Amino acid sequence: MADPTCVFCRIIAGEVPAHFVIDQGDVLAFLDARPLFPGHTLVVPREHVVTLPELAPERVEPVFATVRRVAAAVVAGLDADGSFVALNNVVSQSVPHLHVHVVPRRRKDGLRGFFWPRTRYADEAEAEAVAARIREALDPADG
Amino acid sequence: MADPTCVFCRIIAGEVPAHFVIDQGDVLAFLDARPLFPGHTLVVPREHVVTLPELAPERVEPVFATVRRVAAAVVAGLDADGSFVALNNVVSQSVPHLHVHVVPRRRKDGLRGFFWPRTRYADEAEAEAVAARIREALDPADG
């Protein structure tokens, strides 16, 4: 179901221009207009869904099969060395329509390693308590 | 096939300790020892494979179904507002065993928006030329 207020739904409907990498099917891909590097592509399900947890289980495979395919293509097509694949759910999510960033990367491209300051757990007990909270919140695998 | 020199294979084999979120099956999840925020989890296929394009097509669904599940659980289990999901292929890939970062996020957690400097295409023709190079490098969808 398209949301007429959603810019990605409007791109998919052809109402807003974009440079498409994949322009048919249930999962589309087009260039981010403000790329991190040229070739920065967004993989987007046609259906308006906001976050990955809200994506229907049967849609996971088509979305990420396309991500895999585009991740190979940005390297092969742009002579890149690798790629960065990322998605934001809710926080830092600029457009509330699920989109997976696929960004070509090159060695010495000026972006260093994993790019955010990292912390440490105070001790193993703290780490285990955090892991337990996540485990207890897992939906059943076959849910 | 496990790689005895790979730290993630060794974690999976129980030779190196980790705080597991999911400790059985073909796709495992454990805490990153140097989290961006507490609860930063790595989703890792049991099989030693380096990058997403190298992941067998039939493995895409189990890996990302687990990512989806963990992305929901870090929010529910840690009272987060959202999550960041990311993977590095080759460049910035610290461990050469495919791993998807799932990081709980909170509003005002100190990480701003999409976190890297963004650029622009010189004009629409440049963008279209880039999109065309990626399109031409796509493997067939049913490949």
Q: Nearest 5°: phi and psi at A101?
A: -75, 130
Query: How many angstroms away from the CA of A109 is the closest CA of chain B?
Result: 9
- Assigned token pair, A13: 């409907």
Q: What domains are defined for chain A?
A: 7-111 (3.30.428.10)
- Assigned token pair, A45: 């399900």
* Confidence (pTM): 0.93
> Which pLDDT value is given to residue B112?
66
Residue of A nearest to B101 (CA): A86
* ipTM at complex level: 0.92
Residue of A nearest to B140 (CA): A69
- Helices first, then strands: H and E counts in chain B: 3, 5
The three-class DSSP label of residue B106 is coil
The three-class DSSP label of residue B2 is coil
Q: Nearest 5°: phi and psi at A88?
A: -110, 130
- The H or E element containing residue B133 is helix B124-137
A-B CB pairs within 8 A amount to 270
Q: Give chain B positions within 8 Å (CB) of A92.
A: 82, 84, 105, 111-115
- Dump pLDDT digits (tens) for A105-140: 999 887 765 566 678 899 989 888 888 889 988 988
Query: How many angstroms away from the CA of B43 is the closest CA of chain A?
Result: 13
- Reading chain B (143 residues) residue by residue, the pLDDT tens digits are 688 899 999 999 999 999 999 999 999 999 998 888 999 999 999 999 999 999 999 999 999 999 999 999 999 999 999 999 999 999 989 899 999 999 999 998 877 655 666 788 899 898 888 888 899 889 886 54
Rg (CA), chain A: 18
Band (A143; pLDDT cuts 50, 70, 90):
very low
pLDDT at A64 over 50: yes
